[in-house]
């Protein structure tokens, strides 16, 4: 037995089909569109942060602002596009600009505008938590912008020591929701 549907029902179902299909095929997110407009690959907040920090200064988009907060990476550009990407739940990104003679005040790190004094400088990096457990103990090189990016466990207090040709500096870092993501107070050899 065949059931005959009223013509209106069939027409309504056909008219709704493109809407249903459009809802199933998700287009690019605001972050993907914004990053693509600046010839940057889309990805997680961690992937985008790491990619932007590694770019040579002359390749960093001058009209893109990328600010690292404690929970999100906020992206915006001169065209008025805006997007956010959530940071990993277990990690906080902290960017440190060691210096010898010149620095600037900073609280939230900007991946496209912050510049540190010691670009591509080799450093011995050591980080310990409050119990003395070593979290980082390796040789690292600052990025082209003079910053050393560190992915650290959240809600911790750490002692960070940096040593380079100009000397050594030690500071205490917090990685809670009120912590800065930009550290510009570590003067080597002071």
Tens-place pLDDT, residues 8-62: 544 444 444 444 444 444 678 888 999 899 888 889 999 999 999 999 999 998 8
Report the alpha-carbon distance of residue 182 to residue 69 in Å, rounded: 9
pTM confidence score: 0.82
Report the alpha-carbon distance of residue 55 to residue 66 in Å, rounded: 13
Report the alpha-carbon distance of residue 72 to residue 50 in Å, rounded: 14
Report the alpha-carbon distance of residue 48 to residue 55 in Å, rounded: 11
Tens-place pLDDT, residues 119-178: 999 999 999 999 999 999 999 999 999 999 999 999 999 999 999 999 999 999 999 999
Residue 61 phi, psi dihedral angles, 5° rounding: -65, 120
Which residue spans within 70-147 are E strands per DSSP? 72-77, 82-86, 91-96, 109-110, 122-129, 134-141
* Architecture of the CATH domain 30-183: Sandwich (2.60)
């Amino acid at each position: 037995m065949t059931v005959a549907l009223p013509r209106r029902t069939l027409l309504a179902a056909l008219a709704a089909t493109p809407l249903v299909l459009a809802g199933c095929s998700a287009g690019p997110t605001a972050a993907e569109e914004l990053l693509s407009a600046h010839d940057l690959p889309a990805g997680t907040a961690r992937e985008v942060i790491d990619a932007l920090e590694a770019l040579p200064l002359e390749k960093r988009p001058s009209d893109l602002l990328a600010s690292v907060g404690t929970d999100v990476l906020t992206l915006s550009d001169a065209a008025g596009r805006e997007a956010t990407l959530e940071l990993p739940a277990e990690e906080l990104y902290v960017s440190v600009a060691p210096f010898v003679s010149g620095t600037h005040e900073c609280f939230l790190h900007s991946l496209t505008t912050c510049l540190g004094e010691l670009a591509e400088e080799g450093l011995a990096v050591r980080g310990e938590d409050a119990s003395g457990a070593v979290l980082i103990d390796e040789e690292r090189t600052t990025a082209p912008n003079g910053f050393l990016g560190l992915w650290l466990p959240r809600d911790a207090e750490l002692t960070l020591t940096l040593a380079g040709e100009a000397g050594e500096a030690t500071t205490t870092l917090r990685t809670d929701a009120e912590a800065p993501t930009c550290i510009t107070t570590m003067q080597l050899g002071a």
